[in-house]
Amino acid sequence: MAHTEPRNSLARTPNRRQWLQRASTTGIGFFAAGNMVASLGSSAFSHPTVAEQPFADETYASGKNVAASVHPLATEAAISMFRKGGNAIDAAIAAALTLSVVDSHNSGIGGGCLAIVRTANGQVLALDGREMAPKLAHRDMYLRNGKPDGTLSQDGPLAVATPGQLAALYDLSTKHGYLRWRDLFEPAIAHAEYGFQIDRVLAGRISGEADIIRRYPETARVLLKRNGSPYAQGELLLQPDLATTLTSIANEGIEWFYRGPFAKTVGEWMGQNGGILSADDFAAYQCKYREPIRSLYRGYDVIGMPPPSSGGVHIAQILNILQDFPLPELWKTDRNQAYHLLLEAMQLAFADRAYWLGDSDFVKVPRGLVDPTYARTLAQKISRSQKTRFATHHVPADAATNVFDDRKHTTHLTTADQLGNWVAITSTVNTSFGSKVIVPGTGVVLNNEMDDFSIAPNTPNAFGLVGSENNAIAPGKRPLSSMSPTLVLNDKKQPILSCGAAGGPKIITAVLRILTAVLDENLSVADAVAAPRVHHQWQPDEAVVEERLPDSVVADLKGRGHTTRSIAASAIAQAIQWTSDGNLHAASDPRVPSRAAAYEA
C-alpha cells in the first residue's frame, strides 16, 4: 500500500535505561512549575526534553492525594492537576484524556467509559458514558448470506458506535471539578504535539495489529512508518492531528465534538466509506447517571455499575455466593480450595451473564441476580471437592417483574484526594485500536464497540463471550460491557477501596480477586493487585490461570476436574486503599509499565 509522507515525524530517543538514568539524575518532572503556559494555542507548551518525561515502574505510592493508571504519563497528568489545586475528579479527567494519546490501543475519546465517583460530600454516582449504536443499526446488520460475519463488527466503519467518554468527562468536570475544562487538556495536548516515547506494550500492540492497520490508510499513516512497518519501542510518536482535535475541544467545549466540525467530519467520512455512524448520532448522544449496585460482603458496602455493565451485577453475585464459604480461613489453611471456589462461583455468574444481561433501557435484567437468597441457591450447587459443569443459566425469583430500570481492550484509572473525593473510571475502545479507523484530520482512534453486542445468538465476540437476545443490536442501545469500576465503603460509610481493571471479561474476575485479597486475606492494596489471578467465563469451559500461580495450585485444580490454560497476565488493574492511619495508598499493575503516584498539598 502506498503512503504519503507521515506528518508525525519520529526521531530516535535514548533507550529506556538511559532515559530513566537521566530523569533520576535531573529530578525534573514534565509538569514542573513553569513548564507550561496558560494559552492553548498552536504553540501553547514548551517542548519537553526526554529527561523531563517520567517513565518509571513505580507501582505503589502513599499520600494525601493519589493516582494510579496503566501509563506513567497519565498518572503524572493526574498529579499535575493536584499541583494546580484540582481535586480527584480533575486528576482523573486529565489522566483519561492523556490515555487518549499515550494508550490509544486501549481507550480514548473515540470510545466510552463507566465511572463510579464518590464526592467529598458523601454522594456516590454511577455515570454511564458507554457508546450507543447508531440510529441506522439493526439486529441483523452483520449477517451475510444468513451467517454472522464477525469481521464486520470488529474492524472497519460498521464496527463503530457513538463515542461517549468525552460527554461523561465533561459532565464530571462541570459538576464536580475545581479546575477549568481547558486546564485538564494541557498534558494530553503536549504529549500529542511534542510526542512521547513508545513503550514495549504499545510497540507490541502496533506490531500485532499492523496487518489490519495497513487496510486503513489514515491509521497506517499515523501508526506505521512510510514503508508500512510498525514503529518500535524507544521511538517518539507525534500526533499533530490529535493535538489539534484536543485543543479544539479544550477551547470550544464538547459541542465542537458532538455537534460541530468533528461530528460532521466523521459522519461525512462514514457515509463515503460504508459506515452508518452519522453527525445526528453524535448530536443525540447523552451520558446517563444510573443507580449504583450495592451489595454487602462481610460487613462492607461494595458499590458497582449497573447494566449495561455486567461487572457490577456479577461481582455482587459472585461475592454473594462466596459469603456461604469460609474464604478468610481458607486463604490461610487451604488456598487450593479457595481458588477452586472462586472458579466455581465465576462459572455460575457468567452462565447468567450470557442469558440475562443487556442494556436495561431496552430489556428486563432481573434484580434477583444480586439477591443474597438467590446466591445461596447457587452456592448449594457448588462442590467443595470437585468441579461442577453448569450447563445453563439459572432463574432468580421475580425475574420478569423485579428488574433494573433506569428510565425512571479497555483501561482503568483511579484517583482519590484528601477531601474525600474518589474516582474509578474504566474506559475503552474495545479491542486493540478499536475499529482500526482514524478519520483523516482527526487523529482519533474510533471504537469497535458494536462487537460487544450479540451479533447473532450464541455467536462468540472477540473475547469468546456469547450472549442472548437481551444483548441484540438496536438503534440507540448500549452494548453489554464487562467494565467494573468498584468502590468499597466500611461500616462508617467511609471509602476504603476502589479498584477496576482492563481485559475484557477478565475485568470482572480481576476485580473480584482484588476484593477478596483485601477484604478476606487482609492484603495490602499493592499485594492484592499483584496477586496471581484465575478466570472462568463458563464458555469455553476452562480455568484460565496466570503463569505465576504455583504449580501445586494448578495441579490441585486439575485434580478437581478443571481444564486449565496458562497465560502470562489476566487483566491489568489499578486500585486505591485508605488505611486507618489516614493515608491513601495507590497501586498500579506490575504486569505492565504502569505507575502510581502521590502528591502532598
Measuring CA to CA, how many Å separate 57 from each of 22, 68, 77, 184, 456?
A: 15, 12, 16, 24, 42
CA pair distance 541, 464, nearest whole angstrom: 11
Residue written as grid cell 470482572 = 508
Close Cβ partners of 36 (under 8 Å, ≥ 6 residues apart): 44, 45, 46, 186, 190
One-character DSSP codes across 418-440: TTS-EEEEEEE-SSTTTTSEE-T
Instruction: Enter the C-alpha cell of residue 519.
Output: 477484604
Considering the candidates 245, 410, 442, 509, report the single residue annotated as catalytic: 410
CA pair distance 164, 263, nearest whole angstrom: 13
* Cβ count within 10 A of residue 16: 16
Instruction: Enter the C-alpha cell of residue 228.
Output: 508500512
> Does residue 540 have a cis bond before it (omega within 30 degrees)?
yes
One-character DSSP codes across 489-519: E-TTS-EEEEEEEESTTHHHHHHHHHHHHHH
CA pair distance 209, 196, nearest whole angstrom: 20
DSSP H or E segment with residue 294 = strand 293-297
Dihedral angle sign, alpha carbons of residues 156, 158, 164, 167: positive
Which residues make beta-bridge pairs with 500?
A: 574
CA pair distance 481, 317, nearest whole angstrom: 16
Residue written as grid cell 475484557 = 504
Position 101, amino acid = V
Contact between 515 and 522 (Cβ < 8 Å): no
Contact between 478 and 357 (Cβ < 8 Å): no
Position 253, amino acid = G
CA pair distance 280, 375, nearest whole angstrom: 43
Contact between 486 and 303 (Cβ < 8 Å): yes
Find the radius of gyration of the CA atoms of the chain: 23
Measuring CA to CA, how many Å separate 308 from each of 338, 412, 452?
A: 30, 17, 11
Closest alpha carbon to 393 in 436, 431, 434, 350: 350
Measuring CA to CA, how many Å separate 366 from each of 402, 467, 470?
A: 6, 16, 12
Which residues make beta-bridge pairs with 546?
A: 567
> Mapping DSSP to helix (H, G, I), strand (E, B) and coil, where does residue 94 land?
helix
CA pair distance 557, 539, nearest whole angstrom: 18
Is 410 known to be catalytic?
yes
CA pair distance 16, 200, nearest whole angstrom: 10
CA pair distance 382, 369, nearest whole angstrom: 17
Euclidean distance between the first and the last CA atom of the chain, given in angstroms as a whole number: 53
DSSP H or E segment with residue 577 = strand 572-578
Annotated catalytic residues are 410
